[in-house]
Amino acid sequence: MRASKHPEASRACRPAVLALAAALPLALAATAVAQTAPAHGRYDIGTPLTETRLAPWNIDVAPDGRNLPAGQGTVAAGRTLYAAQCAACHGAQGEGGQGDRLAGGAGTLASAKPVRTVGSYWPYATTLYDYIRRAMPLYAPQSLTSDQVYSATAYLLHLNGLLPEDATLDAQALRQIRMPNRDGFVDDPRPDVAVAGGPPAKP
């Protein structure tokens, strides 16, 4: 075995040689993976998104009622549900507490002290169903059945004088409810914002 004529230089090169030796297997492995990957660039990572897997997330309801589920609820059932799961935050009659006020406020929006509630401010009854379905109750969102959400919606609309005591609410009936402040909102005039039923937004 021949020794180097320059032992200092040899010792200086030793770390670089060790690093190269350590990196070589990784480089070879990467090359092997690249050679076995499909030619079209797919690496078989993840799971295909099927309609069945998407369904639990695709629960938003449009203002016109699109995507409202089957089912129905009553004001009477909603009263019981509200007392058990909603009143602690929103008050026994929707007057508010830890949570927002939900009832009353009719005719106050143009006053010095507007009271914005479901009945006085919200433009679409379908939005009420959508919000309850996705976000309530606060401690267990999305735990209510479709019938329970219809019942809670019916009771809140009743508290605001928009449904009678004996009403039953389903998708068709909910679409037909016209909220008092329906015309209190205007379309966004910005050209980069799409308007329902209008031309697509400009990029």
Instruction: Indicate which CATH number applies to the domain containing 93.
Output: 1.10.760.10
Residue 120 lies in a domain: yes
Residue at 12 is within a domain: no
Residue 7 lies in a domain: no
* Domain annotation covers residue 171: yes
Number of C-beta neighbours around residue 89 at 10 A? 16
- pTM for the structure as a whole: 0.72
Residue 135 domain-assigned (yes or no): yes
Asked if residue 197 is part of any domain, the answer here is: no
Please list the ranges in the chain whose pLDDT falls under 50.
Answer: 1-10, 12-13, 16-18, 20, 33, 37, 39-40
Q: Is residue 41 part of a domain?
A: no
**What confidence score (pLDDT) does residue 106 get?**
96
Q: Per the structure, how many domains does the chain have?
A: 1
> Would you state the pLDDT for residue 10?
44
Assigned domain for 10 exists = no
Q: Which domain holds residue 63?
A: 55-184
Which are the contacts of 49, defined by CB distance < 8 A and separation ≥ 6?
Answer: none
